[in-house]
Amino acid sequence: MTWLNNVLSNSKLLWEKHQDELKPVLILASVFLAIVLAIGLHRYFTFYASYDQGIFAQLFWNGIHGRFFQSSLSSGLSGAVVHDGQVPTVYYHRLGQHFDPIQLIWHPFFALFPNAATLVVLQTAYVTAAGLVLYALARHYLKPTLSWMIVAAFYGSVAVVGPTLSNYHDLSQIPLFMFTLFLAFEKRWWWVFWLMAVFTVLARQDAGVTLFGVGLYLIFSRRHPWAGAGLCGLGFGYVVLASNVFMPMFSKDVSQRFMIERFGHFANGNEASSLEILWGILTNPGRLIGHLLGALDQKIFYLLGQTLSLSFVPLISPSAWVLISTPLSQLFLQGGQSRFSIYIRYAITLAPGLFYGAILWWSVHQNSFRPRFRKIWTGFIILSLLVILLKNPHRAFYFLVPDSFQPWVHVPLTRQWEHVAQVRSLIQQVPSDAPVSATTYIIPHMATRRAILRVPFLQYRDDDQQVKEVEYILMDLWQLNQYQSAFREERGYLRDLLTQTEGWMTQKNYGIQAIADGVVLMQRGVPTPPELLKTWQELRQTYQSTLRK
């Protein structure tokens, strides 16, 4: 215990010496933690967390019961189910979709509080802790006031707050690991440096791309070429091994789904490995240049959003450009429009390079940090926070900001909480271990069980490899109806469920057992009481009439 006493004693001395300097940073971190955690938990408890939150809750729940990285919800997204029409399995290993074994170190926290809300706390804690490490990193070069502004910019960044308010995701750990890696490099704590490099790649298989950019910076800046070469080798080697060796051991999803969905324009068929995609990129320079230079307006706005809270300083920092070169190229080479969304999880992977690059730029331009510029910078941080509020990422501020103005779509807070009570009353009627199929926003609240699917999936393959049907179906049609007038996805989902429910009653032997505020509970093998059948027919007619408007 001597070492612990020494640590505590040194920490006390450090606090007494620097408490005036550290108080503003701790206040910033506390405010960020309190506000983001409150909004995130409110989003979860009012049924706005969705499918991915349920996936990770089931992964963690299976993990603490010894069934590591298994998920029937992930199976529902697998190529075997989506493309081949197979039945989802309860023993499907998600490592075939995303290789993120670092999640194991967080399992003990989930074991203490086995609830999907725990993941909201963990994700917010990762990002809050990353801001504190960022301050220590900034102080290596900068004066306290400038370092405070860097941290304020981090906690106010659109690309940080948006992904933190989303469903739980593995990339939320990247800023914490990367800022610690940068700090360890500056302090020459080499064992911490390499440990964080390993943690980074273990956070997700494609995080090696981010690490590769850091290696390029260390090489080109000549600050430590050998360490840079090591990072490039580790980053590239791990991406190749994980996507071509480790992940195919569990499923073919990386080549059948994810490579094709993101980089299929560089593939020659319906299936491709990461090495084949890389070869397609290198052997098609015209297509490569076209994707890098195409949609320039969207890319410019994306970079402006990424650097807004930093008053755009990274855009004039050569170090920042090198640090983000590979993850930014990866984003720009992908297909689809979501790559340009600054509110989803991929955006947060650029934050470490941008903020470290900003610190390096300020280290040689500290004289430019004058009171007038500080006011301008503060204005940009406030503007960034306003953008977050008005854009309402992941419907986190649904009670403040309408989801649509034309047509008008807004769910008042009091009305949503009334609905929450009804949803919870029906969830409580389902046994905690019963196989269930539910709509998207109910899934996170029922995910801590062996077999759970998303409606309309009703069949699953159990641990004995027998195909079975779920015992219960729980659908929140009211929630879909609130948004269907403005959003095509909800409109189509509601229309399908109204039709399919009739089929489940007549062909699949499911009977309605409860209807509360547009939430429908069905049970297999139990007939629908006549009074509930009448209620269902009236509800169905009401929602069909809204669909025709």
- Give tens-digit pLDDT for 141-177: 999 999 999 999 999 999 999 999 999 999 999 999 9
Asked whether 60 and 70 are in contact (CB, 8 A), the reply is no
Q: What's the rounded mean pLDDT across residues 421-436?
A: 96
pLDDT score for 3: 46
Q: Where are the alpha helices (DSSP H) in 371-516?
A: 371-391, 413-427, 477-483, 488-506
Tally of domains within the chain: 2
CB-CB contact of 224 with 258 (8 Å)? no
One domain, residues 211 and 271: yes
> d(Cα 120, Cα 169) in Å, to the nearest integer?
10
User: Are residues 279 and 356 part of one domain?
Assistant: yes
Identify the residue with better confidence: 7 or 225: 225
Q: Which of these three, 366, 395, 424, is where a domain ends? A: 395
Give dist(CA 512, CA 283) in Å, integer: 58
Query: Based on the domain organization, do 439 and 368 belong to the same domain?
Result: no
In a domain, 4, yes or no: no
Shared domain for 474 and 444, answered yes or no, is: yes
| Same-domain check for residues 283 and 215 | yes
Q: Over the stretch 449-485, which tens digit does the pLDDT of each residue have? A: 999 999 999 999 999 999 999 999 999 999 999 999 8
- CA pair distance 423, 517, nearest whole angstrom: 8
Per-residue pLDDT, 5: 57
Output 333-338 pairs: Cβ under 8 A, ≥24 positions apart: 333/263, 333/266, 333/281, 333/288, 333/291, 333/292, 334/262, 334/263, 335/261, 335/262, 335/263, 335/264, 335/265, 336/261, 336/262
Domain extent at residue 235: 21-395
How large is the angle between the packed helices 351-362 and 116-139, nearest 10 degrees?
20
11 domain-assigned: no
503 within some domain: yes
Residue 239 identity: V
Give the pair of three-digit tokens for residue 454: 């998303």
313 versus 333: the higher-pLDDT residue is 313
Q: What is the pLDDT of residue 282?
A: 77
Looking at beta carbons, which pairs linking 502-505 to residues 24 or more positions away fall under 8 Å? 502/540, 504/458, 504/473
Q: Rounded CA gap, 152 and 144, in Å? A: 12
Q: Which residues are registered as beta bridge partners of 454?
A: 438
418 and 382 assigned to the same domain: no
Q: Is residue 374 part of a domain?
A: yes
Residue 9 included in any domain = no
Give CA–CA dist 523/251, Å, rounded.
Answer: 32
- Read off the pLDDT of each residue in 317-335 and give the average, rounded to a whole number: 90
Structure tokens at 86: 């197979």
Residues 291 and 382 in one domain: yes
Any domain includes 5 = no
| 370, 395, 420 - which closes a domain | 395
What pLDDT, on the 0 to 100 scale, is given for residue 15? Answer: 54
Please indicate, yes or no, if residue 363 is contained in any of the structural domains. Answer: yes
Average pLDDT, the chain: 91
pLDDT the model gives residue 294: 76
* Per-residue pLDDT reduced to its tens digit, 354-375: 999 999 999 999 888 888 999 9
State whether 225 and 322 are in the same domain: yes
Q: What per-residue string of b and e applies to 125-155 under the rule 16 or more CB within 10 Å gives b?
A: bbbbbbbbbbbbbbbebbebebbbbbbbbbb
* Helices assigned H by DSSP within 242-367: 253, 259-263, 274-282, 285-293, 296-307, 318-323, 325-333, 351-362
364 plus 481 within the same structural domain: no
Residues 391 and 479 reside in one and the same domain: no
| Residues 186 and 45 both lie in one domain | yes
User: What residue type is assigned to position 542 of the chain?
Assistant: T
Write down the pLDDT at residue 500: 94
Which of 363, 395, 427 delimits the end of a domain? 395
Residue 201: pLDDT band with limits 50, 70, 90: very high
Selection from 379, 377, 357 nearest residue 369 by Cα: 377
At residue 287 the predicted structure's pLDDT band, cuts being 50, 70 and 90, is confident
Same domain, 156 and 292: yes
Structure confidence by residue, pLDDT tens digits, 78-126: 988 988 889 999 999 999 999 999 999 999 999 999 999 999 999 999 9
**pLDDT of 284 higher than 90:** no
* pLDDT score recorded for residue 16: 55
483 in a structural domain:
yes
Q: Is the pLDDT of residue 320 over 60?
A: yes
